[in-house]
């Protein structure tokens, strides 16, 4: 947790107008933070670093240690990350989930994707980089992990927390993985879950048998498109007796519902080799068990997944035609509504009938 101290130190230096050539190996005298950044000294004011509530939350997020790669750790209301300035992408993003942060009324409809105000303009990605690129804007720390606070949810929409992600992957398989992670807290009795998520580029073999690292870049800022995304889940029971850990590497492409999460499980050691990151340096790995051996790592089935969203869409329907259209999806997709869904449909129908009669 040395970073805040370093930041305060450098901030004092910069405001004093002197950047020491002895310390930084450059021969410049300036009081301009941007010039310092261009010189390779990356530091700028971050309100979150001086706000005790953020610091407190950050200590929880990083309870098992700061992943030991990345020059600085940035703390947000409910996530922490290191950022790759040259690639305009996160390196890793960490969160701590419990019932508190998963409960509340924050709504993603009130949030907007936008450049991170805590990152210098020249190192920031932009919405225009993603527009018509063929790639969607995929959260690393999910918006849905921030129901407790609208500001926290808004911060998850900073582009420092976003990478280019296949739209189908983002909305389906990756979405189910995020739901699974929350479910460990919400229904499976794990009081605390620590998650580290990030982009990764894996090599591919070409015709001549040689291996290359190759990835698309999008937009004016050339934001890299990762070939895969990784996620590490550490689940702990309230009595601290059980610690489960699972690491997953998922291809950044459409993945059908018949694929299991276990197919994409890797060892923590392999992921450490591929990323160069030691993820939970303070965690005694000998006390952990394989998450998928204990829990089975079962994602929602296609049927469960689609019924869930039909329910949400019925709930948000505002007129009869929309309600009936959503209801007809059940037949189209060969789905059988459960009692909950039938009651929801009937309740919405009478609500809308009543409202339309008044007009």
Partner DNA sequence: CGGTGCTTTGGT
Partner DNA sequence: ACCAAAGCACCG
Residues marked active site are found at: 139
**Nearest residue (CB) to DNA, 112 versus 210:** 112
Residue 82: count of CB within 10 angstroms of its CB? 20
127-to-53, 101, 120, 160, 284 alpha-carbon distances in Å: 29, 27, 16, 11, 41
Q: Decide if 152 contacts 77 (C-beta within 8 A).
A: yes
**Nearest residue (CB) to DNA, 37 versus 102:** 102
- Contact stretch for DNA (CB under 7 A) within 27-35, 163-171, 189-197, 224-232: 163-171
- For DNA, the binding residue among 1, 6, 122, 167 (CB under 7 A) is 167
The minimum distance between CB 141 and DNA, in angstroms, equals 9
Verify binding: residue 311, DNA, rule CB under 7 A: no
The minimum distance between CB 187 and DNA, in angstroms, equals 15
Of 263, 234, 229, nearest to 249 by C-alpha is 229
CA–CA gap between residue 143 and residue 124 (Å, rounded): 20
The minimum distance between CB 338 and DNA, in angstroms, equals 18
Per-residue contact flags (x/-) with DNA for residues 62 to 101, judged by CB under 7 A: ----------------------------------------
* DSSP code string of 179-226: HHHHHHHHTS--SEEEEEEEEE---EE-TTS-EE----EETTTTEE--
Our CA angle for 122, 124, 129, nearest 5°, is: 115
- For DNA, the binding residue among 144, 215, 274, 320 (CB under 7 A) is 144
Label the pairing between strands 243-251 and 265-266.
antiparallel
- For DNA, the binding residue among 10, 19, 97, 143 (CB under 7 A) is 143
What the block records as the tokens of 347 is 């309740």
- The residues of the shown chain that bind DNA, judged by CB under 7 A, are 107-108, 112-113, 130-132, 136-139, 142-145, 147, 165, 167-168, 170-172, 175, 178-179, 309, 312-313, 318, 322, 325
């Amino acid at each position: 947790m040395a970073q805040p101290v370093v930041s305060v130190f450098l901030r004092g230096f910069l405001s004093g107008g002197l950047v020491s050539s002895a310390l930084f190996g450059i021969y410049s005298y300036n009081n301009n933070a941007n010039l310092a950044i261009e010189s390779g000294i990356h530091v700028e004011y971050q309100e979150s670093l001086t706000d005790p509530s953020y610091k407190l939350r950050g200590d929880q997020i990083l309870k098992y240690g700061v992943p030991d790669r990345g020059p600085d750790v940035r703390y947000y209301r409910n996530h922490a990350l290191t950022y790759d300035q040259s690639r305009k992408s996160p390196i890793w993003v960490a969160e701590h989930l419990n019932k508190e942060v998963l409960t509340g009324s924050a709504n993603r409809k009130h949030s907007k994707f936008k450049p991170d105000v805590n990152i210098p303009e020249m190192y920031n990605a932009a919405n225009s980089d993603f527009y018509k690129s063929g790639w969607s804007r995929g959260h690393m720390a999910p918006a849905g992990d921030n129901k407790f606070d609208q500001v926290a949810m808004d911060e998850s929409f900073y582009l420092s927390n976003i990478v280019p992600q296949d739209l189908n992957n983002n909305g389906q398989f990756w979405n189910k993985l995020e739901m699974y992670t929350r479910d460990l807290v919400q229904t499976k009795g794990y009081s605390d879950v620590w998650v580290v998520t990030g982009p990764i580029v894996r090599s591919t073999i070409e015709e001549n048998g040689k291996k290359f690292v190759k990835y698309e870049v999008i937009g004016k800022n050339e934001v890299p498109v990762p070939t895969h995304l990784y996620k590490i889940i550490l689940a702990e029971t309230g009595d601290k007796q059980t610690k489960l850990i699972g690491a997953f590497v998922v291809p950044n492409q459409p993945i059908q519902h018949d694929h299991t999460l276990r197919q994409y499980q890797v060892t923590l050691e392999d992921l450490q080799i591929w990323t160069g990151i030691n993820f939970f340096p303070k965690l005694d790995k000998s006390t952990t068990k394989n998450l998928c051996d204990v829990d089975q790592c079962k994602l929602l089935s296609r049927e469960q997944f689609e019924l869930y969203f039909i329910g949400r869409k019925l709930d948000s329907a505002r007129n009869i035609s929309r309600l009936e259209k959503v209801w007809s999806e059940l037949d189209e997709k060969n789905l059988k509504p459960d009692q909950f869904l039938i009651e929801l449909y009937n309740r919405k129908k009478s609500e809308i009938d009543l409202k339309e009669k008044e007009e």
